[in-house]
Chains A and B, each alone.
Chain A
Amino acid sequence: MKARIKFRKYGVMKFIGHLDVMRFFQKAMRRADIPIAFTGGYSPHMIMSFAQPLGVGITSDGEYLDIELTEKITSEKAVARLNQVTVEGIDIVSFLEIPEDKKASGMTVTAAADYQVFLLKSMESSDDRLAIPEKWQAHIPAFLSEKQMIVWKKTKKSEKEVDILPMIYEMRAEADSIYMLLAAGSEQNLKPDLVMEAFLRYMKEEERPFHYHRLDIRTKTENGSFLPLSDMGKEIL
Chain B
Amino acid sequence: MRKLALNDEILLKIEKPARYIGGEVNSVMKDPEKVDIRFAMCFPDVYEIGMSHLGIQILYDMFNRREDVWCERVYSPWIDLDKIMREMHIPLFALESQSPVKDFDFLGITIQYEMCYTNILQVLELSQIPLFSARRGEEDPIVIGGGPCAYNPEPLADFFDLFYIGEGETVYDQLLDAYKENKKNGGSRKNYLEKAAEIEGIYVPSFYDVTYKEDGTIASFSPNNSHAKEKIQKQVIMDVTHTYYPEAPVVPFIKVTQDRIVLEVQRGCIRGCRFCQAGMLYRPTRERDVRVLKQYAYQMLKNTGHEEISLGSLSSSDYSGLKELVTFLIEEFKGKGINISLPSLRIDAFSLDVMEKVQDVRKSSLTFAPEAGSQRMRNVINKGLTEDDIIYGAGQAFEGGWNKVKLYFMLGLPTETEEDMKAIAELSDKVARRYYEIPKENRNGKCQITASSSFFIPKPFTPFQWEPMFTNTEYIARAAIVKHAFQEQLNRKSLRYNWHDAEVTVLEGVFARGDRRISAALLKAYRLGCLYDSWSDYFDFDKWQEAFRSTGLSIEFYNLRARSLDEILPWDFIDSGVTKQFLIRELKRAKNAQVTQNCRRQCSGCGAAKWGGGVCFESKN
**A interface residues, Cβ below 8 angstroms from B:** 11-13, 15-17, 20, 23-24, 26-31, 33, 38, 42-46, 56-57, 85, 87-89, 122-126
Q: Which residue of B lies closest to A11 (CB)?
A: B1
- Per-position binary interface string of chain B over residues 277-304, scored 1 when its CB falls under 8 Å from any chain A CB and 0 otherwise: 0000000000000000000000001111
Q: Give the chain B neighbours of A87 by CB distance below 8 A.
A: 23-25
State whether A15 and B21 are in contact (beta carbons under 8 Å apart), knowing that A38-B337, A43-B339, A43-B360 are contacts in the complex.
Answer: yes
Collect the chain A residues with CB atoms within 8 Å of residue B24's CB: 87
Flag if B254 contacts A20 (CB, 8 Å): yes
A42 to B357, CA, bound (A): 9
Q: Out of B18, B304, B360, which one reaches A16, CB within 8 Å?
A: B18
Output the least CB separation between A212 and chain B (Å).
12
User: Which residues of B are at the interface with A, using a C-beta cutoff of 8 A?
Assistant: 1-2, 4, 7-9, 11-12, 17-18, 21-25, 251, 253-255, 301-307, 337, 339, 359-360
How far does the Cβ of B363 sit from chain A's closest Cβ, in whole Å?
8
**Which residues of B are found within 8 Å of A13, using beta-carbon distances?**
23
Q: How far is the CA of A24 from the CA of B359 in the complex (A)?
A: 24
Which residues of the partner chain B approach A27 to less than 8 Å between Cβ atoms?
A: 25, 251, 304-307
Contact pick for A42, options B18, B304, B359, CB 8 Å: B359
Q: How far is the CA of A125 from the CA of B4 in the complex (A)?
A: 10
B8 lies within 8 A of A123 (CB):
yes
Per CB-CB distance, the 10 closest pairs between chain A and chain B, nearest first, are: A27-B305, A30-B305, A123-B9, A124-B7, A15-B17, A31-B305, A42-B360, A44-B337, A12-B21, A38-B337
A88 in contact with B12 given A27-B25, A43-B360, A44-B337 (CB within 8 Å): no
Q: What residues on A are CB-neighbors of B12 within 8 Å?
A: 15, 56-57, 123
Given contact pairs A11-B1, A23-B255, A88-B23, A124 touches B337 in the complex (Cβ within 8 A): no
Q: List 22 A-B contacts (CB under 8 A).
A: A11-B1, A12-B21, A12-B23, A15-B17, A15-B18, A20-B254, A23-B253, A23-B255, A24-B253, A27-B25, A27-B251, A29-B305, A30-B302, A30-B305, A30-B306, A31-B305, A33-B302, A43-B360, A44-B337, A56-B17, A122-B9, A124-B8
Other A-B pairs, 12, CB within 8 Å; known A16-B254, A27-B251: A15-B18, A27-B305, A28-B305, A30-B302, A30-B305, A31-B302, A31-B304, A85-B25, A88-B1, A123-B7, A123-B8, A124-B9
Within the assembled complex, what's the spacing in Å between the Cα atoms of A46 and B11?
A: 31
Contacts of A12 in B (CB 8 A): 1-2, 4, 21-23
CB-CB < 8 A to B25: which residues of A? 27, 31, 85, 87
Write the nearest CB–CB distance from A211 to chain B, whole angstroms: 8
CB-defined contacts of B2 to chain A, threshold 8 Å: 11-12, 88
Smallest distance from the beta carbon of A38 to chain B beta carbons, Å? 5
Return the chain B residue nearest A16 by Cβ.
B253
Known contacts A15-B11, A16-B253; is-contact A45 B302 (Cβ 8 Å): no
Q: List, in ascending order, chain A residues with CB within 8 A of B11's CB.
A: 15
Asked if A125 and B8 make an inter-chain contact with CB atoms under 8 angstroms apart, the answer reads yes
Contacts of B251 in A (CB 8 A): 27
Residue of A with least CB distance to B255: A23
Is the pair B305, A26 in contact by a Cβ cutoff of 8 Å? yes
Partner among A11, A23, A45, A123 whose Cβ is within 8 Å of the Cβ of B337: A45
| Chain A residues positioned under 8 Å from B255 (CB to CB) | 20, 23
A113 to chain B, nearest CB (A): 21
In the assembled complex, which residues on chain B have CB atoms less than 8 Å from the CB atom of A30? 301-302, 305-307
The smallest beta-carbon distance between B504 and chain A, in angstroms, is: 31
The answer to whether A57 touches B253, judged by C-beta atoms less than 8 angstroms apart, is no
Q: Name the B residues within 8 Å of A38 (CB-CB).
A: 337
